[in-house]
Amino acid sequence: MILIEDVRKRYMTEHGAGRWILRGITMNIPTRRSVALIGPNGAGKSTLLRIIGGIDFPTKGRVERRCRVSWPMGGGGLEGTLTGRQNAKFVCRVHGHQDELKDRLAFIEDFAELGDSFDEPVETYSSGMRSRLQFALSLAFDFEVFISDEVTAAGDAKFRKKAADAFRSMVDKASVIMVSHDESTLRQFCQSGILINDGLAYWFDELGEALKAYKTKLFL
């Protein structure tokens, strides 16, 4: 289970503190329930996803993870001056997989399909290449909850199918918290929904009800 308690978020700008992107979100996300984050552009979906994944922090409030949660697939967290391989080695060692390093690196290199770029600095990668590396890194470890930000849209059609197939096999043993602008992707992988609007969040047990509320602008 993931506990979100009165989470509020705003960023500092050159003019001082910016607007509140998240204005007090409190809810519990069950571990074995795949959830879609839904809302208009700029609502704070990716911000909340990064906070849940632990690569960003709330200005106020807290998140308690009572399960193994991945970093956001398709998001940041890579060191740009290091190569893809060096980033992968670092992550493997941090997670205590030094003894399995060779096999894990082989999996990551094969899945990401970066070719010679795997040994080039990540700062030279396109956004799609970064997403593919993040996706492969996440799949190399056993998480109970996977965090995904538009990751199935990364790469060409062949890689998108590969990512979707990996997701299908993954949801049999883990759950997903996902941001995607593609409704068919959300329906394919998620059962429940969180509608975010004006810095607030609304939980729906059924994804269809969340999508209906969004489309009819029930909370907008």
Q: Using the predicted structure, report yes or no on whether residue 74 has a pLDDT greater than 70.
A: no
Q: In what order do the strands lie in the sheet with 192-197?
A: 69-73, 145-149, 175-179, 35-38, 192-197, 200-204
Residue pair 176/72 in contact (Cβ under 8 Å)? The answer is no
Q: Using the predicted structure, report yes or no on whether residue 44 has a pLDDT greater than 80.
A: yes
Mean pLDDT of the chain: 88
Q: What does residue 181 show for φ and ψ, rounded to 5 degrees?
A: -90, 0
pLDDT for the residue numbered 26: 97
Task: Please give the C-alpha separations between residue 81 and each of 78, 120, 122, in angstroms, as whole numbers.
Answer: 9, 9, 6
1-15, 71-85, 118-132 — which is least confidently predicted?
A: 71-85
Residue pair 8/61 in contact (Cβ under 8 Å)? The answer is yes
User: For the residues 186-193, what does the mean pLDDT come to?
Assistant: 92
| Per-range mean pLDDT, top range of 95-104, 116-125, 161-170, 172-181 | 116-125
Q: Using the predicted structure, report yes or no on whether residue 3 has a pLDDT greater than 90.
A: yes
Question: Quick one: fold of 1-68+146-220?
Answer: Rossmann fold (3.40.50)
Comparing 96 with 176, the larger pLDDT belongs to 176
pLDDT for the residue numbered 156: 67
Token look-up 């909370």 returns: 219
Domain boundaries, the chain: 1-68+146-220, 79-141
Q: Pairing state of beta strands 145-149 and 175-179?
A: parallel
The H or E element containing residue 136 is: helix 127-139
pLDDT for the residue numbered 152: 56
Q: What is the pTM of this model?
A: 0.82
Q: What's the CA gap between 2 and 153, in Å, rounded?
A: 26
Residue in 110, 113, 129, 112 with CA at minimum distance from that of residue 121: 129
> pLDDT tens across 167-183, in order?
778 777 889 999 988 89
pLDDT for the residue numbered 153: 55
Beta-carbon count within 10 A of 216 CB: 9
Q: What's the CA gap between 201 and 63, in Å, rounded?
A: 15
Query: Torsion over CA of 4, 6, 7 and 9, rounded to 10 degrees?
Result: 170
pLDDT for the residue numbered 180: 87
Structure tokens belonging to residue 12? 């500092």
Residue pair 145/175 in contact (Cβ under 8 Å)? The answer is yes
Q: Using the predicted structure, report yes or no on whether residue 76 has a pLDDT greater than 70.
A: no
